[in-house]
């Protein structure tokens, strides 16, 4: 059994085996002495090798130390000539002392460098839109490159940071921002429901939130509280699709096709809203109700008042970005449709950032404001904007801001001019 086996492993040898054991032990000691001599020889060799390695390591460490010191000196020089915004400061030397022409040229050089370098450090987000246009005949013109693709595919893009915030002084780091004041939201006509509307196409746009999005955009950009007249947009919808810049060998598949938009027929292959908005703008439902398409749009339905187009030149645009990009878009372009709701702002309470959005409880019901945690992540969104009238940063303001960064160079230049005189 297991106990007996273990006992046999540890049994004590008899006396007659002692001589044999001693001989074996003497031989073992002899072998151990030889191994010891070999080990001492190897140890001496290892010591020599270790000394060589240590010498090499010390040399490498000295070289690395010198390189680090050089890098630190270079970084210190860079830090001294760079402000906290990352701008590299221009340095001037009075030797040789410039004459008046050289000084003037230097000023021009500084101006050109500061303007050209503006924004290079930003990884600017982009917004995308299509530039389909309606001509004076009411024809919708598409670029030939779109043949075989979705007619509403975005084919143009602009940088988000090319535009200023609509409300001066607002920024993405603000604790709270609203595209539409909460006090005004409850009275917004664009979110009052569509149960009573008789034009089915209009009800579809209300159901998918783009009716309200357009009305909210009018409030944000134009400060006008309207329920948008989608029947006015339908009255101005294109009647024919035409490809422009067709190839010389174009076959019959390139031919123009007739388009029909009505309260009971909407050709969803072609977005009429964005193209009509760009050319004609949108008017209030108080001028043309959303129950029937007007036969003429020269006068309001009461035949007394003139239509007041809003958002003329605007288009539907799209973007993809993180939470910070989302906030930058809100500041510049107002309400954003995303994931079945319309975001109108954000708020920060107890270090928790919340998104403020409008949604309806039923397909054609009224919109109400809600708050939820503003999560990190990637967002897709849609909004209305005017690509032809960007509120860009004024050139002189930009130049002034950049010259402040290079003020030391300018002071040095003035000193040089004084010395030359």
Angle at 322 between CA 222 and CA 317, to 5 degrees: 40
Mean pLDDT of 70-94: 41
pLDDT value at residue 27 = 54
Average of per-residue pLDDT values in the chain: 76
Query: Which of these ranges, 28-32, 103-107, 239-243, 270-274, has the smallest mean pLDDT?
Result: 103-107
pLDDT value at residue 223 = 96
Mean pLDDT of 405-410: 70
Categorize the per-residue pLDDT at 149 as very low, low, confident or very high, splitting at 50, 70 and 90.
low
Q: Which tens digits make up the pLDDT trace of 324-358?
A: 999 999 999 999 999 999 999 999 988 899 999 99
Residue with the bigger pLDDT between 40 and 323: it is: 323
Q: Say yes or no to pLDDT of 13 above 70.
A: no
Where are the chain's structural domains? 54-83, 100-119+397-420, 132-386
Q: Which tens digits make up the pLDDT trace of 371-405?
A: 999 988 888 899 999 998 765 555 555 566 566 65
pLDDT value at residue 41 = 55
Residue with the bigger pLDDT between 170 and 199: it is: 199
pLDDT value at residue 205 = 94
Class of domain 132-386: alpha beta
Query: Which of these ranges, 78-82, 174-178, 386-390, 413-417, has the smallest mean pLDDT?
Result: 78-82
pLDDT value at residue 204 = 93
Helix axes 407-420, 100-117, angle to 10 degrees: 170
């Amino acid at each position: 059994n297991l106990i007996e086996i273990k006992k046999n492993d540890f049994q004590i040898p008899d006396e007659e085996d002692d001589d044999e054991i001693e001989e074996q032990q003497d031989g073992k000691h002899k072998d151990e002495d030889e191994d010891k001599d070999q080990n001492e020889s190897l140890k001496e060799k290892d010591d020599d090798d270790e000394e060589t390695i240590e010498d090499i390591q010390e040399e490498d460490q000295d070289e690395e130390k010198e390189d680090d010191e050089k890098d630190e000196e270079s970084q210190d020089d860079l830090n001294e000539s760079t402000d906290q915004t990352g701008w590299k400061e221009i340095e001037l030397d009075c030797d040789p002392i410039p004459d008046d022409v050289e000084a003037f040229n230097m000023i021009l050089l500084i101006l050109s460098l500061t303007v050209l370098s503006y924004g290079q450090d930003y990884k600017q987000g982009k917004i995308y839109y299509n530039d389909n246009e309606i001509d004076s005949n009411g024809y919708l013109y598409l670029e030939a490159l779109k043949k075989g693709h979705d007619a509403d595919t975005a084919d143009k893009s602009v940088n988000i940071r090319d535009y200023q915030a609509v409300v001066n002084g607002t920024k993405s780091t603000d604790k709270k921002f609203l595209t539409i004041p909460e006090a005004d939201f409850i009275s917004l006509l664009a979110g009052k429901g569509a149960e009573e509307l008789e034009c089915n196409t209009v009800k579809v746009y209300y159901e998918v939130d783009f009716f309200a999005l357009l009305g909210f955009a009018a409030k944000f950009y134009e400060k006008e509280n309207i329920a948008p007249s989608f029947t006015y947009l339908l009255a101005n919808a294109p009647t024919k699709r035409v490809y422009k810049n067709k190839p010389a060998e174009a076959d019959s598949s390139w031919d123009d096709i007739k388009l029909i938009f009505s309260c009971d027929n909407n050709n969803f292959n072609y977005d009429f809203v964005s193209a009509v908005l760009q050319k004609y703008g949108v008017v209030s439902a108080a001028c043309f109700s959303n129950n029937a398409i007007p036969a003429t749009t020269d006068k309001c339905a009461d035949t007394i008042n003139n239509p007041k187009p809003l958002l003329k030149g605007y288009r539907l645009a799209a973007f993809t970005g993180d939470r910070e990009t989302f906030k930058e878009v809100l500041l510049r372009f107002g309400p954003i449709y995303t994931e079945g709701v319309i975001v109108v702002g954000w708020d920060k309470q107890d270090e928790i950032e919340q998104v403020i959005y409008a949604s309806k409880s039923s397909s054609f019901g009224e919109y109400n404001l809600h708050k939820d945690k503003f999560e990190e992540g990637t967002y897709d969104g849609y909004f209305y904007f005017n690509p032809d009238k960007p509120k860009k940063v004024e050139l002189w303001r930009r130049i002034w801001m950049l010259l402040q960064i290079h003020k030391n160079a300018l002071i040095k230049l003035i000193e040089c001019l004084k010395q030359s005189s």
